Amino acid sequence: MEEPISFTLNGRKTELRTDPNQTLIWVLRNQLGLTGTKWGCGTGFCGACTVLINFEPVRSCQVPVSDIAGKTVITIEGLEKKGKLHPVQQAFVDHDALQCGFCTPGMILTAVALLKKNPSPTRMEIIEGLDENLCRCTAHVRIVEAVIDAANEMKGGK
């Protein structure tokens, strides 16, 4: 019962034959080899599987792949441009804003979406924006600092 589906993935037109009922996360991870999108709970609570659909952060474990037909999907693999890290990625590196790194892709994508909507967030707005992404190693202090820095960098740089 596979069906064709087309969408834009990390800037590229993508066509795929797949079971339309599969969840997006497993199509990304298992069929497309994009394993940067992490599976943490399968119920939408942890945020490790966050991807951007039309620039909105979405829990990919909660979305059937049929939902993304004709849409734009960005995963963590799509942030780097010509070998250069996205400013949010770079800020996470600069601040050591990670430990085990398992929540990191979802955390970074959520932050990227936040900064797109609100390029000058306050500290509280950053915390609110990322509050539903769980990090058990609790790199919390550094995550907030990294996003503040990335926001400044992006305003100055672009």
Instruction: Catalog residues that contact another protein under the rule CB under 8 A.
Output: 19, 21-23, 26, 29-30, 33-43, 45-46, 48, 75-77, 79-80, 85, 89-90, 92-94, 96, 98-105, 108, 127-128, 130-144
Cα–Cα nearest to 42, from 67, 22, 20, 60 = 60
Closest distance between another protein and the C-beta of residue 39, in Å?
6
State the minimum distance, in angstroms, from the CB of residue 67 to another protein. Answer: 14
Smallest gap, in angstroms, from Cβ of residue 123 to another protein?
10
We find the least distance from the C-beta atom of residue 90 to another protein, in angstroms, to be 8
- Which CB sits closer to another protein, 45 or 55? 45
Alpha helices, DSSP H only, in the chain?
24-26, 87-94, 104-117, 123-130, 140-157
Nearest to 153 by CA among 99, 82, 106, 92: 92
For another protein, the closer of residues 39 and 72 by Cβ is 39
Give whichever of 16 and 85 is closer to another protein, judged by the CB atom: 85
Q: How many CB atoms lie within 10 A of CB 43?
A: 9
Going by their DSSP bridges, the two strands 56-59 and 3-9 should be labelled as: unpaired
What is the smallest separation between the CB atom of 9 and another protein, expressed in angstroms?
Answer: 13
Looking at beta carbons only, is 7 or 142 nearer to another protein? 142
Q: Which two tokens stand for residue 153?
A: 């960098």
Beta carbons within 10 angstroms of residue 95's beta carbon: 19
Contact 116, 58 (CB under 8 A): no
**In terms of CB distance, is 42 or 119 closer to another protein?**
42
Token duo for residue 150: 């990335």
